[in-house]
Amino acid sequence: MKVLVVGSAGREHALAWKIAQSPKVDEVIGAPGNAGMTRIGRCFPGVSGTDCDAVVALAREEEVDLVVVGPEDPLAAGVSDRLREAGFAVFGVSQAAAQLESSKSFAKDFMQRHGIPTAAYATFDDAAAASAYVKAQGVACVVKADGLAAGKGVAMCETPADAEAAIAEMMNDRRFGDAGDRIVIEEWMQGEEASYYAITDGENVVTLATSQDHKRALDGDRGENTGGMGAYSPAPVLTEACEKRVLEEIVHPAIRGMREEGNRYQGVLYVGLMIDAEGVPRVVEFNVRFGDPETQALLVRMQGDLVPLLEGAAHGRLDASTALAWGDAAVCVVMASGGYPRAYESGKAIRGVEDAEDDHVVVFHAGTKLAGDGFETAGGRVLGVTARGSDVREARDRAYAAVSKIHFEGAFSRSDIASRALDR
Ligand code: AMP
Ligand code: GLY
C-alpha cells in the first residue's frame, strides 16, 4: 500500500520512518514533508497540509491507500473531512473533533459535561471581566488563549497582576490574533506532567506506552515554553495504578463522549496529564494528534507494525486486543537553533548526522533543508536525536553521545532530558 504523511516536523519524519518499515507498505510520500523525509520517499514541498484542496488533489493523483495527518492545523482546517468525502481512508480526526485542541473552552466544557477530571476554569470574551475575576480570586492562575497558538498561548501567572498583564497581552494587544479573543483562566495545578496516547476508531481503543516531554527551553525547566525540547519513554510517574485511572476516568469517557455528541473520534487522542503527589491524574490539555517530540521516542521504542493500528482507526475497525510490544526505553534530545523559541538564524550547515546514527540511534529532521550534498538549518527545532536503550539511562547516554557528534553554528539542546525519570 501507499501512505501519504501530512506534515513537516520531526513527528512526521518519525511517523514516515516507522510506517515505511511495515511489510504492508510499498511507498511513503510526504506533504509538504521535510528534508529528512526525502530519504524515505518523495515529498511535495508545495503542498501545505492546511490547503485541503491541494492535499485531496495529491491523494487522488498519487492514488494513496491511507493518509496520516500529523499536525493540528490541517485537522482544524478540516482536511480529514475533505479527504473522507473524497473516499480516502484517513488517520486523523474531523474538524469538529479537532475542537478538543483548537478551542480550549470547547475542551473544558466537554470535560465538565462528561465528568473528566481537570483544573477548575472560567471563560471570558471580555478583558475587563477577566481582570475583575483574577483580582477577586487573588491567587496564582493560568491564562490561556482559547485558539491555536503553537503551544505559546499559555501564561503561568504567579499573581493577579501577572494575570492581568497576560490578559491585556492576549485580549488588548492581540499577541495571538483571533486565538486570544476568548480566553480561559484556570486553576494552577501542582504535580508532575506526563503524556498518554490512545489510538481509536471512535469506539475501540489501543493505548501506547507512557512518555514525558520537556517543554521549557532551558535546563531545570527554566526559560520559555517551547514546542518541546526532548522526551523520554517510559515515564515512571505514570504507574500502573495511575494508568488504569487515566483509562477509566479520562480516555474512555472522552472517546465515548465525543461519539455521543456526534463527533466520532478517529485518530489519536493525546492526553496531557498532571499527576499529583497522591498519583491522582487530571487533564492539562487534550491534543488531537501525536506529540512532538514524544512520538520520536515512542516510535523508536515501539516494536512491531504501526500501520494496522493506523488503518484500523481510519477504517473504523480497530482491533482493541492488539498487543503492542515495546523495547525497554527511548530518549529524544532536540537540537535547536540559538535563540529559539524567539528569533533565531537559519541556513547554518549541519555536520555529523551520519556519524551520529547507528543501530541504536536515529536522527529525525524537523527544521532542516537540503543544501548541496548535505543539510542546513531551516527552523527553530532542527533535529530530534533519538536513541533506544535497555533503560532510560542508557538511552539518554546514547542520545547525548550522538548529539555531541552533530554540529551547526548556534546549536543548543538541554543537557537534562530524562532527568525527571533518573533522579527519582
Ligand atoms: P497547554 O498548551 O494547555 O498544554 O499548556 C502548556 C503547558 O502549561 C502545560 O504543559 C503545563 O506545563 C502548563 N499548564 C497549562 N495549564 C496548566 C494548569 N492548569 N496547571 C498547571 N500547569 C498548566
Ligand atoms: N510535546 C508537546 C506537544 O506536542 O504538544
Q: What is the 3-state secondary structure (H, E, C) of the chain?
A: CEEEEEECCHHHHHHHHHHHCCCCCCEEEEEECCCCHHHCCCECCCCCCCCHHHHHHHHHHHCCCEEEECCHHHHHCCHHHHHHHCCCCEECCCCCCCHHHHCHHHHHHHHHHCCCCECCEEEECCHHHHHHHHHHHCCCEEEEECCCCCCCCEEEECCHHHHHHHHHHHHHCCCCHHHHCCEEEEECCCCEEEEEEEEECCCCEEECCCEEECCEEEHHHEEEECCCCEEEECCCCCCHHHHHHHHHHHHHHHHHHHHHCCCCCCEEEEEEEEECCCCCEEEEEEECCCCCCHHHHHHHHEECCCHHHHHHHHHCCCCCCCCCEECCEEEEEEEECCCCCCCCCCCCEEECHHHHCECCEEEEECCEEEECCEEEECCCEEEEEEEEECCHHHHHHHHHHHHCCCECCCCECCCCCCHHHHCC
Amino acid found at 377: T
What is the structure's pLDDT at 423? 87
CATH topology of domain 120-187: Dna Ligase; domain 1 (3.30.1490)
How many Å lie between the centroid of ligand 1 and the Cα of residue 281? Answer: 14
pLDDT by residue, tens only, the chain of 424 residues: 999 999 999 999 999 999 999 999 999 999 999 999 999 999 999 999 999 999 999 999 999 999 999 999 999 999 999 999 999 999 999 999 999 999 999 999 999 999 999 999 999 999 988 999 998 888 899 999 998 887 678 999 999 999 999 999 999 889 998 988 999 999 999 999 999 999 999 999 999 999 999 999 999 999 888 889 999 999 999 999 999 999 999 999 999 999 999 999 999 999 999 999 999 999 999 999 999 999 999 999 999 999 999 999 999 999 999 989 999 999 999 999 999 998 999 999 999 999 999 999 999 999 999 999 899 999 999 999 999 999 999 999 999 999 999 999 999 999 999 998 998 7
How many Å lie between the centroid of ligand 2 and the Cα of residue 397? Answer: 23
Which one of the ligands is nearest to 100 CA?
1
Structure pTM? 0.95
Q: Could you identify the atom of ligand 2 that is nearest to the CA of residue 290?
A: 4
Q: Would you say the CB of residue 213 lies under 6 angstroms from ligand 1?
A: no
How many Å lie between the centroid of ligand 1 and the Cα of residue 140? Answer: 13
Q: Could you identify the atom of ligand 2 that is nearest to the CA of residue 292?
A: 4
What is the structure's pLDDT at 173? 87
Residue 144 in grid coordinates: 490561556
Q: Would you say the CB of residue 140 lies under 6 angstroms from ligand 1?
A: no
What is the structure's pLDDT at 177? 84
Domain 2-92, CATH 3.60.15.10 — does that match? no
What is the structure's pLDDT at 224? 84
What is the structure's pLDDT at 186? 96
Q: Which residues surround ligand 2 with Cβ inside 6 Å? A: 151, 213, 228, 287, 291-292, 294
CA 140 to chain centre: 27
What is the structure's pLDDT at 402? 98
Which one of the ligands is nearest to 294 CA?
2
Q: Could you identify the atom of ligand 2 that is nearest to the CA of residue 151?
A: 5
Q: Would you say the CB of residue 304 lies under 6 angstroms from ligand 1?
A: no
For ligand 2, mutation pick of 215, 221, 226, 414 (most atoms within 8 Å of CB): 215
How many Å lie between the centroid of ligand 2 and the Cα of residue 246? Answer: 18
CATH topology of domain 329-422: Glycinamide Ribonucleotide Synthetase; Chain A, domain 4 (3.90.600)
For ligand 1, mutation pick of 121, 156, 157, 292 (most atoms within 8 Å of CB): 156
| Sequence spans of domains, the chain | 2-92, 120-187, 190-326, 329-422
CATH topology of domain 190-326: D-amino Acid Aminotransferase; Chain A, domain 1 (3.30.470)
